[in-house]
Amino acid sequence: MSYLEATNDLYKEAALTPDVGLCCTTNPIWELPGLKIPKIMQEMNYGCGSTVHARDLANNPKMLYVGVGGGMELLQFSYFNRQKNGVMGVDVVDEMLEASRKNFKEAEAQNDWFKSEFVDLKKGDAMNLPVEDNSIDVAAQNCLFNIFKADDLKKAIAEMYRVLKPHGRLVMSDPTCEQPMNDELRNDDRLRALCLSGSLPIADYVKALTDAGFGTIEIRARKPYRILDPKHYPTDDLIYIESIEVAAIKDPMPADGPCIFTGKAAIYYGDDDYFDDKLGHVLLKNQPLAVCDKTAGALASLGRDDIFISKSTFHYDGGGCC
Ligand SMILES: C[S@@+](CC[C@H](N)C(=O)[O-])C[C@H]1O[C@@H](n2cnc3c(N)ncnc32)[C@H](O)[C@@H]1O
């Protein structure tokens, strides 16, 4: 059985018998006025972090969500969208599609603003999406891509890139890990499917996105996730896994390379009112400006004693250079 078949089996079981905390963290549930998340959706929260960010959702974007799980994030996206077929949900596991369909009925009973028809569920594979080219404004996946091995991850990212409109965004949350993992962990299909042993270092994760052509990357959050310890897992070392929230934007690739925001800021604290690098970045005195890593490097290389560049905070919430 391939690791993809093992993954499908695991999520078939998780659809038939909801398993709280099966694979991922129990992230705080979005609390919004008038939004009720049915208990069953909370029990089937198989994601880490959140892919639902209000600032991505202005102007009724056409949305796609791959790997629906119990449907909680699709309901949250629908909260902002509220249109027939406003959010397309794709999953390869029939039982998961069926379970989420039932959960949307329950959500409809608990939320007077929600109708099941807001969500358009489709059977399909992340590596071969049943979606037209250049048709989506906001695509999302939560805790699916980390399961994929390198070639499949490449295909899944290329598919998201294909279906997004120019400047559309892919919003994701996945576990990441900066430590090496041994082959026994890497090749354990169940641990991989449980989002425990497929995760990449952040730099490799980002490179997979920029290699696919995404010109802007935002790392929005980085959080502690899990421990793989020698007592419970086949590892000699204690392994610390984190999770990140990332947006990859289908902006054209800049000639000098991608703009990657890792939560750095530049602060000018000199004698003038502002500092202008004449390359499009104006630093107002004593006002932090969010900068991508490229701009941070360029400003640092000026060697000035009146510009401070912060380290990566891995918290980026918009604005700034580029
Ligand atoms: C870890 S769960 C995450 C579910 C949901 N995103 C959440 O946050 O609760 C992975 C989901 O991806 C689905 N899935 C697994 N392999 C897939 C594939 N190749 N293509 C599309 N969906 C897939 C599973 O059925 C399951 O719904």
pLDDT (average), residues 217-242: 97
93 lines ligand 1 (CB under 6 A): yes
Lowest mean pLDDT among 42-56, 188-202, 237-251: 42-56
Using DSSP, state whether 145 is helix, strand or coil.
helix
pLDDT of residue 23: 63
Residue 44 has pLDDT above 90, yes or no: yes
Residue 194 has pLDDT above 80, yes or no: yes
| DSSP state for residue 24 in the 8-state scheme | S
pLDDT of residue 31: 80
Q: Catalogue the E-assigned strands of the chain.
A: 63-66, 87-91, 119-123, 136-142, 164-176, 216-228, 239-249, 259-261, 264-268, 274-276, 282-284, 289-291, 307-309
pLDDT of residue 275: 98
Q: Which of 224, 318, 214, 209 is nearest to 265 (CA)?
A: 318
Using DSSP, state whether 225 is helix, strand or coil.
strand
196 lines ligand 1 (CB under 6 A): no
Does residue 25 come out as left (phi exceeding 0), alpha (psi in the -120 to 50 range) or beta?
beta
96 lines ligand 1 (CB under 6 A): yes
173 lines ligand 1 (CB under 6 A): no
- List pLDDT tens digits, range 118-155: 999 999 999 999 999 999 999 999 999 999 999 999 99
Q: Which amino acid is at 190?
A: R
- List pLDDT tens digits, range 179-193: 999 999 999 999 999
Lowest mean pLDDT among 27-31, 174-178, 276-280, 288-292: 27-31
pLDDT (average), residues 251-263: 97
CB 47 within 8 A of CB 243: no
Q: Output the average pLDDT for the chain.
A: 95
Distance, CA 42 to ligand 1 centroid (Å)?
15
pLDDT of residue 202: 98
Among 4, 44, 93, which is best to mutate for testing ligand 1, by the most ligand atoms less than 8 A from CB? 93
Among 19, 88, 91, which is best to mutate for testing ligand 1, by the most ligand atoms less than 8 A from CB? 91
CB 168 within 8 A of CB 140: no
Lowest mean pLDDT among 20-24, 59-63, 293-297: 20-24
Output the CA angle 89-94-100, nearest 5 degrees. 50
Encoded tokens for 113: 């603003």
- End-to-end CA gap in the chain: 46
142 lines ligand 1 (CB under 6 A): yes
Q: According to DSSP H, which parts of the chain are helical?
A: 3-16, 39-43, 72-81, 94-110, 150-163, 183-186, 189-193, 202-211, 293-300
Using DSSP, state whether 105 is helix, strand or coil.
helix
Encoded tokens for 198: 């497929």
Give percent of the chain with pLDDT exceeding 90. 93
Measured distance CA(209)–CA(225) in Å, rounded? 22
pLDDT of residue 98: 98
pTM of the model: 0.96
Give percent of the chain with pLDDT exceeding 70. 98
pLDDT of residue 26: 58
Measured distance CA(208)–CA(59) in Å, rounded? 29
67 lines ligand 1 (CB under 6 A): yes
What number of CA atoms fall less than 13 Å from residue 81's CA on the CB side?
A: 29
pLDDT of residue 322: 73
CB 77 within 8 A of CB 54: no
Using DSSP, state whether 5 is helix, strand or coil.
helix
pLDDT of residue 22: 72
75 lines ligand 1 (CB under 6 A): no
pLDDT band at 24 (very low <50, low <70, confident <90, very high): low
Distance, CA 107 to ligand 1 centroid (Å)?
20
89 lines ligand 1 (CB under 6 A): no
pLDDT of residue 25: 61
